Structure 1
Amino acid sequence: MKIISINRTIIAVFIFLGTAFLFSCQKETSLSNSTTVTEEQAATYSDESAQADASFDDVTDVGMTAADEDNTASVGRMDRDYHPDFAELRAAIGLCATITVTRNDTTYPKTITIDFGDSCVGLDGKLRSGKIVLHLTGPIRKPGSVLTITFVNFYINHIHLEGTKIISNLNENGAIKFTVQVVGGKVTFPSGRGYSYESFKYKKQIAGMDTRIVRDDAFEITGWAKIEVNNGVVIKLEIVDPLIKKVACHWISDGTLKIQINDRVLKLDYGFPHNGECDNKALLTWNNGNSQRVILLP
């Protein structure tokens, strides 16, 4: 009887372990399947990731242009001479936004608030609403100065952006360069699909250094971004060929971005279709270039 009891115990243990193992395998399979990405899904995720990345980049452009014009109005001038007209910024965002500077003089720190109201269509054709708040520790062209950008119910082309953008001046030995970081970023599309977003990029000026005019500036951008969909899919963006952003152009005009989604790798060519000319198109390719889709940038 004792032997039978022991055997029953052993059998029960094996049944328990077998059941646990089977459940574990099913759970792992379920988790794996939940993050399996089809080719069509990968293309859609890449499209939306490019839009998310471009939307945050647009905020960089708006913030940097405002900060540059503040810099021009502040450096080497007396307090009473501080009269930025933000003409270059207006050339992009239009006249419908309200721009408020506090403190409204040449001293720092200061805050620049750009209020787009409920709906503001810029001269760049982009629809914005809500507020972008810029906090400057010093003139943006001064080494060590930091520009911090936050959002108040901000949307661009119906895409909702949240988080904090930090732009730091790293100028040295005559080179004009910045780091651009997004922390705690979140992107929500009109469909309701949500993404978390973080990035770290280097931005180096390659044209317009010898003038006080903002419009002739151009920058070379390198770095990465990481996007996580609310279903757990992780999307990694890596700049392979430096992106070129001219202030006079509303979009990135050249460069290549690698997009990795699980084991799928896609490429986004910003030089398409006119070899670096200014337009809002980029070419997404995958399957060694055999599959492609034209992406319209916001």
Structure 2
Amino acid sequence: MTILGIDIGGSGVKGAPVDTVRGELLEERFRVPTPQPADVDSVVEAVAEVAGKFHGIERVGITFPGVVVDGVTRSAANVDKSWVDAPAAKLFAERLGLPATVLNDADAAGAAEVAFGAGRDQSGLIMMVTLGTGIGTALFLDGVLIPNTELGHLEIDGRDAELLASDRVREADELSWEQWAPRVERYLRHVEMLLSPRLFIIGGGVSKKSEKFFPLLDIRTPIVAATLLNNAGIIGAAVSAEQAAAGPGPQDPGAIEVDAAAQAERG
């Protein structure tokens, strides 16, 4: 079974077929810019453009930068508000003509890291934090996902945390690593106080530069960079699609698979 993983981000929509046993891309990923505005119709077409670059695909897993419950997108912090309460899995399945699974982007990235990367064989409470356009989070207790945590929107000093410490803010405000690191530390310390995780896994594009800011962070919890980097969302989306095909399980309670053919038969 060939599964395509597609990751919808604030700046790009990227995808590739995935080897879900090894956690590796089977082909070079293809990327298009995220439409602006990132409304439902435009993003669906961008996903279709990515999917159209690959052949022999039997099902698709798609990440979304927001809360996803039973295939419906419930929030839209970094995309157009038309996504609130949109039947995303149904829309993607109908447009692509493939069974589709949709889940939160940080949950997908975290699932990939727990299965194949920095969180593999880790027990206890593990937290994935993606620093990118916003701040995404994923929590895993003994390897089982607790979906849709959205802890990037915690209030820090009266502000939404991702408006303080995301990588987009670092770039937009032209902050040095020495200026930005205390903001990340403030956020991670707040999460430490609330949850006492055993490990932080830092993902997002900035994880490739972990040596620039990890040494500047003073926190008690061990912290590691994501090993799958920007491919984590693609891999996690494909793994979740495979799990959904096998039936609901503890790893994908926020995702639902929609079969395009079954939708067509129901009219």
The alignment's TM-score, normalised by the length of structure 2, stands at: 0.30
Bigger relative contact order, structure 1 or 2 (CA pairs below 8 A, ≥6 apart): 2
The alignment's TM-score, normalised by the length of structure 1, stands at: 0.28
